[in-house]
Amino acid sequence: MTIIPIGPYHPSLEEPELFRLTVEGEKIVDCDWKTSYNHRGIERIAEGKTYDQCLFLVERVCGICSASHPIAFCNAVEDMAGIEIPERARYIRSIIAELERLHSHLLWFGLAGHYIGYNTVWMWAWRYREPILYLFEKITGNRQSYAMMKVGGVRQDIKDEDLPDIMKVVDDLEPKLNMFIGVALDDPVLAARMKGVGKFSREDAINYCVVGPTARAAGIDMDVRRDEPYAAYDRVDWKVILGESGDVLSQAVVRLLELLESVKIIRQCLREMPHGPISVEVPEILPGEGIGREEAPRGECFHYVRSDGGNCPVRLKIRAPTYNNIPTYKVRVIGETISDATIILASIDPCYSCTERMIRVVEQGRETMGWSDLLTLSQEKTKRIMREMGFNEEDAFRGLRI
């Protein structure tokens, strides 16, 4: 019996997290974890900040979801104070949130490719993600941490002259997304590495209260954008993508198909966005409590705010989607092999915050494998499958069949 620690510093994870995999040979038989190496006490800090300052704080909960936490926070405060935001602000919130989903899902797809040794997927996905970040810089001033949201609306307008640029980026991206979807659905190597791997049942999904693409891949029909519409999601036409088996492949397919829905939402928002004010005056905040949710790329973000009538919240509870999704790792990874441990963990798109990473295999106190060895092990498996399927090994890492 050997114990393999993944983490606390790990290349696939932005924040340290420790998984202890108990293995017999190649097979994983048990899993335990430790988390919160990077607990920053954001909820506690928020208690001493005004509502306006809190927005900048919650924007930094996650380096990727720079729009999700501020929108969830605004929804919570607006729920508490009964604020109705202007129509134009609703559309701007949706545009920013969907652009964020585009870049976040592409980032995930690239990383998933990297973990199974398909580095071409990684480079292509990130290449097509880059124009979205340029776009963010153009319309908000920042590639990340856009500072667009405020309680009662949005902080800055999207200029009319920027609309054609957004439309062009989205138009250029769509055929590339279709290409990726074709690859994910047709490529036999991707199917061999992802199909049936890391499965979990609908019952597990319900018991562990999972959210977002992880839940939808297991067939749970939930999406905050539709179920409790905020921003402009009830004003445009789109649909919730569902998978069946909850395996890594269905998670990938759900995310990729969601990208096309995001494109649809952005197009409609750009076309239908009315002119007008972008924010309303925020009334005095009375004692009370409010709950706000937002469908982040990884699932439902949840904010609970309590006020005593002062200018700072007395309590802010934040629940990021990964918090509910990570515990399913245990049911998904047991019975699988070590070479699949990375992609199964990556498949829920874990997101903590940003820092260093490392992985080691320790046997009887001596390090026998480092992260690069494990990554090589995973990539060798893809090569072996390719050889068995009759692919030329030379071609294996040269490019996708497109």
Partner 1 sequence: MAEEDIIQMVKGRFPDKAMEARQASPNRVYINVKKEDARDVVGYLFQELGGRLITASGVDTRAGIEILYHMAFDKKQYKIVTVRALVPKAFPEIDSMAIVIPGAAWIEREIHDLFGVNFIGHPDLRRLILADDWPEGKYPYLREEKA
- Residue ranges in contact with partner 1 by CB under 8 A: 34-36, 39, 41, 43-44, 79, 82, 206-210, 222, 224, 227-228, 288-291, 293, 300, 302, 304, 306, 314-315, 317, 319, 323-324, 327
- Nearer to partner 1 (CB atom), residue 272 or residue 308: 308
- Nearer to partner 1 (CB atom), residue 110 or residue 313: 313
Please answer whether residues 165 and 192 qualify as being in contact, where contact means their C-beta atoms are separated by less than 8 angstroms. no
Please answer whether residues 151 and 51 qualify as being in contact, where contact means their C-beta atoms are separated by less than 8 angstroms. yes
Question: Considering the complex, what minimum distance in angstroms separates the CB of residue 358 from partner 1?
Answer: 19
Question: Considering the complex, what minimum distance in angstroms separates the CB of residue 223 from partner 1?
Answer: 8
- Nearer to partner 1 (CB atom), residue 77 or residue 106: 77
Question: Considering the complex, what minimum distance in angstroms separates the CB of residue 23 from partner 1?
Answer: 21
- Nearer to partner 1 (CB atom), residue 187 or residue 289: 289
Specify which residues 38 forms β-bridges with: none
Q: Is 21 left (phi over 0), alpha (psi -120 to 50) or beta?
A: beta
Specify which residues 301 forms β-bridges with: 294
- Nearer to partner 1 (CB atom), residue 138 or residue 319: 319
Question: Considering the complex, what minimum distance in angstroms separates the CB of residue 227 from partner 1?
Answer: 4
- Nearer to partner 1 (CB atom), residue 323 or residue 397: 323
Show Cβ contacts of residue 104 under 8 Å, excluding neighbours closer than 6 positions.
64, 65, 297, 298, 349
- The Cα 293–Cα 274 span in angstroms is 25
- The Cα 221–Cα 313 span in angstroms is 33
Question: Considering the complex, what minimum distance in angstroms separates the CB of residue 288 from partner 1?
Answer: 8
Question: Considering the complex, what minimum distance in angstroms separates the CB of residue 371 from partner 1?
Answer: 24
- Nearer to partner 1 (CB atom), residue 44 or residue 168: 44
Question: Considering the complex, what minimum distance in angstroms separates the CB of residue 304 from partner 1?
Answer: 5
Question: Considering the complex, what minimum distance in angstroms separates the CB of residue 308 from partner 1?
Answer: 10
- The Cα 384–Cα 391 span in angstroms is 10
Question: Considering the complex, what minimum distance in angstroms separates the CB of residue 43 from partner 1?
Answer: 7
Full 3-state SS string of 37-59: CCCCCHHHHHCCCCHHHHHHHHH
- Nearer to partner 1 (CB atom), residue 323 or residue 391: 323
Encoded amino acid at 253, one letter: V
- The Cα 1–Cα 25 span in angstroms is 8
- Nearer to partner 1 (CB atom), residue 115 or residue 329: 329
Question: Considering the complex, what minimum distance in angstroms separates the CB of residue 85 from partner 1?
Answer: 15
- What residue ranges in 7-148 does DSSP mark as E strands? 18-24, 27-34
- The Cα 77–Cα 58 span in angstroms is 13
Specify which residues 82 forms β-bridges with: none
- Nearer to partner 1 (CB atom), residue 32 or residue 137: 32
What single DSSP character describes residue 144? S
Long-range contacts of the stretch 8-12 (C-beta < 8 A, 24+): 8/34, 8/37, 9/355, 9/356, 9/357, 9/358, 9/359, 10/357, 10/358, 10/359, 10/371, 11/357, 11/358, 11/359, 11/371, 11/375, 12/111, 12/115, 12/342, 12/345, 12/346, 12/350, 12/357
Query: Which of 189, 186, 191, 198 has its CA nearest to residue 339?
Result: 198
